[in-house]
């Protein structure tokens, strides 16, 4: 049953963040010497498979975490904390911070809904004082180690809608009165599911769709 509260849901990459969390993470690992150039090149090959449509984003992130952070989830969390402190915090857009704060002042329930992994999303959610309110791609972990698989459903495309509807029911949110901010046409299913879709720093394809449908277009810097 639909709730009565208004939600304000935010994608993360190129929306809350001024960039891609995946690429920022890889840049950080290279800068601190955690991964050698040879592994960096292998990882770029994996990214290429995503770029040409062979892999979807959740599968890419599962492989990247295994390749970049090793097999240990504890190591992934350690690197996540160090990465945030050294780099990631600077990429949270000031306009995004202000919009999150505005929604909170209105009494709206604010949450992140991102295809990125929890190791990227949780520190950003903490920085925005969201009290653990986020949905993200979760990787399968057995005995403290990654298996290379994604926990289904992945928080991507139609999976975002499935997870968001469950989340809305659990938190008493009415999606038909709620907001969703995103940069990507891949998020079209969730943009169509809310009452107030907002295109932020949109891709060319999402820009065309937003113009055709009369959705607001904004730029967070």
Return the pLDDT at 34. 81
CA dihedral 144, 150, 154, 156 (to 10 degrees): 110
Burial profile 52-89: b = 16 or more Cβ within 10 angstroms, e = fewer: eeebbbbbbbbbbbbbbbbeebebbeebbeebbeeebe
In CATH terms, 7-18+92-218 corresponds, of 3.40.50.1000, 3.40.50.300, 3.10.20.600, 3.40.309.10, to 3.40.50.1000
Domain ranges for the chain, please list them: 7-18+92-218, 21-89
**Which residues have a Cβ under 8 Å from the Cβ of 101 and sit 6 or more positions away?**
none
Q: What are phi and psi of 7, to 5 degrees?
A: -105, 155
In angstroms, rounded to a whole number, what is the distance separating the alpha carbons of residues 94 and 75?
30
CB 102 within 8 A of CB 81: no
Beta partners for 5? Answer: 173
What is the block-wise mean pLDDT of the chain (221 residues), using blocks of 10 residues? 85 96 86 80 74 68 63 89 97 98 98 94 97 93 84 87 96 97 95 98 97 98 95
How high is the pLDDT of residue 57?
67
Q: How many CB atoms lie within 10 A of CB 23?
A: 11
Say what the pLDDT of residue 1 is: 45
**65 and 29 Cβ atoms separated by less than 8 Å:** no
């Amino acid at each position: 049953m639909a709730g009565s509260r208004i939600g304000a849901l935010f994608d993360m990459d190129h929306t809350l963040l001024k960039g891609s969390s995946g690429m920022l993470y890889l840049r950080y690992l290279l800068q601190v010497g955690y991964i050698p150039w040879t592994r960096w090149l292998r990882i770029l090959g994996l990214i290429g498979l995503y770029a040409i449509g062979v892999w979807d984003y959740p599968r890419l992130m599962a492989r990247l975490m295994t390749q970049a952070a090793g097999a240990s989830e504890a190591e992934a969390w350690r690197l996540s904390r160090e990465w945030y402190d050294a780099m990631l915090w600077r990429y949270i857009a000031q306009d995004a911070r202000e919009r999150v704060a505005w929604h909170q002042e209105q009494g709206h329930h604010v949450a992140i809904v991102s295809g990125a992994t929890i190791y990227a999303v949780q520190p950003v959610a903490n920085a925005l004082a969201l009290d653990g309110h986020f949905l993200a791609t979760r990787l399968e972990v057995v005995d403290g180690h990654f298996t290379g698989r994604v926990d289904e459903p992945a928080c991507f495309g139609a999976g975002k809608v499935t997870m968001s509807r469950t989340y809305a029911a659990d938190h008493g949110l009415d999606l038909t009165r709620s907001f969703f901010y995103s940069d990507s046409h891949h998020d079209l299913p969730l943009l169509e599911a809310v009452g107030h879709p907002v295109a932020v720093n949109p891709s060319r394809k999402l820009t065309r769709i937003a113009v055709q449908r009369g959705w607001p277009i904004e730029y967070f810097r």
